[in-house]
Structure 1
Amino acid sequence: MAMNKSLPRFEDLPVNKNDPPFSAWGLWKNPELGALNYLTDEVVLKAAKEEIQTGIRVGLNLPLDFIKPSLLGRVGFEHKMINKAPRIVNDDIITFNTQGSAQWDSFRHFAYQAEKKFYNGVTQDDIYAEAETTINGINAWADRGIAGRGVLIDYFSWAQEQGITYDPTKTHPITLKEIKRIINEKRITLRTGDIFLIRTGYVSGYGAMNSEAKEAHKSEHSWPGFAQSEESVKWLWENQFAAVGADNPAFDCVPPVDPKYFLHPILLAGWGTPIGELFDLELLAQTCNQLGRWTFFLSSAPLNYTGGVASPPNILAFF
């Protein structure tokens, strides 16, 4: 783990005064990895030794064809079977938007909109300078994958226990105060470099919809997630997670509670912190509850292709 400079205080962001709000450009000696630089061999080894105790494995990969019709106007999943007759052999071809189901967002996905700058000042012109540029692409993560200590905040179950009712497919802000309460009640200890996950209940709610409701939902742009505030951004900065994720389509609450602190540009374009979306956290939550533990070892192998914007996570939790 090698930084160009020591970690600045939140109050001292942006690192360079003329950069976008809260940005920390130039912090890492290996900028392609951003906060994944925290996942050193030593950190991964420690997590594996401590967390893998039972051999239980849980996949967090939502089926590629789970979201139908696709959200946000994206191209939907297609599957074509190919009969290789006269031989008794089958092939198949799948086509899909890499953000149509469970995914990691790379640093070339979402920019600071007003400044039109991605992580470390990269522009659309930089990305499209040639047919296959790799700058800020997800391919940089593929050589070593994403592996480390995962932490689950099962907000959806906790909210039900507290008598908090909400539609998990609609806007519902999950406040930092609630997150901290869950951490305290579950006796969770956070570490620098953790992979921080929140279960909002979105996948459960979406799975319960009928086809008509899904059709109406595809363009609603409304779901539960982490509530935006200066306090929540500061808390995320001070905890220095290697990556964050949720079972909703954004990690953020959408529409945002406070657009000034919308987390997508801050995390991806400002800090180089990967965002996982639409993770299937249902069985993970059940397993954590049964075992009475909310940390585990996570292993993810993003697709290795040139200049990728996003990738299915190919992710497993080990207990």
Structure 2
Amino acid sequence: MNTQLQVTDLRVHYPIRKGVFRRQVGAVRAVDGVSFGIAEGETFGLVGESGCGKSTLARAILRLQQPTGGTVQFRHRDGGEIDVTSLPAPAMRALRRDIQIVFQDPYSSLNPRLSIGMTLAEPVRAIEGVGSRERRARVAEALAAVGLPMEAARRFPHEFSGGQRQRIAIARALITRPRFVVLDEPVSALDVSIRAQVLNLLVDMQRERALTYLFVSHDLSVVRYLCNRVAVMYLGRIVELGEVDRMFAAPRHPYTRSLLAAIPRPQPRKIRPPLGVVGEPPGPLSVAGGCAFRSRCPHATGHCAAEPPVLRDLGNGDLVACHHAETLPATPRFVAA
């Protein structure tokens, strides 16, 4: 299958400046050398604790956040590849037709001063420059696709529920008929009763329009339902990447094991594997050499402190950044609730 998006050594560093002359004395490495590829029609999951760099990585891929280094190659409609990180502003605006995003909070991602019709029409006006008649037709098509009536175009965001607002946000992302969509925790702000509706809508849209998704989330049960492959991030780096079913059945990195062991279970009396991880992640400025997870890992050794692990292939496309991945003790099968 063709690779639609290839991320290579992507970095986002925030400089720290002090003194009268504002000299740089360090940097926060929000994203630090991340590489992966996403195939056409795939849903690729990105998970990790809050502050691990998931959303920053997603925004850097779309150039909503300027990367410090690395490349993002995107396969265009004509089959050619484009380096997103080096595109000038006019070309980047044109590429917005093919790559879109659905933000986490449906209450803040919609302009309260614009009607829904104006909100949906703005992308096709700004990016494609279509006329008013075509814009109205595209708005009606987008609303119908997410199950909302045309009369919703005359209303304003405060007149809708959270689930309806997120449907509108999805309609706005799809109105330019993109090929690649970033979903930045699209259901985390919604009630549990509404999440399934939005997730099923995303699945239906992907099937009907041959979309490719990058799904950012901290809800592992949702990730298992929606994604084909998943990458686990810790302090700006990917520590494990592989097929969803395989990773849930037999995680290879201690951090992945702790995330899966923390999933709530419907049988609280049943014996569960210990979390095996304690404490909080180190601060972004206190990460020195070696493995960044070693201070919380029950399997850490002197090798972990001396040398940072690299993301290596253990077979079948499973990538793990751990010196002891082959020798860790076996764990029970993890099943998402």
**TM range, normalised to the smaller chain?**
under 0.3
* Bigger radius of gyration: 2
TM-score between both structures, scaled by the size of structure 2: 0.23
Higher RCO by CA contacts (8 Å cutoff, separation 6 or greater): 1
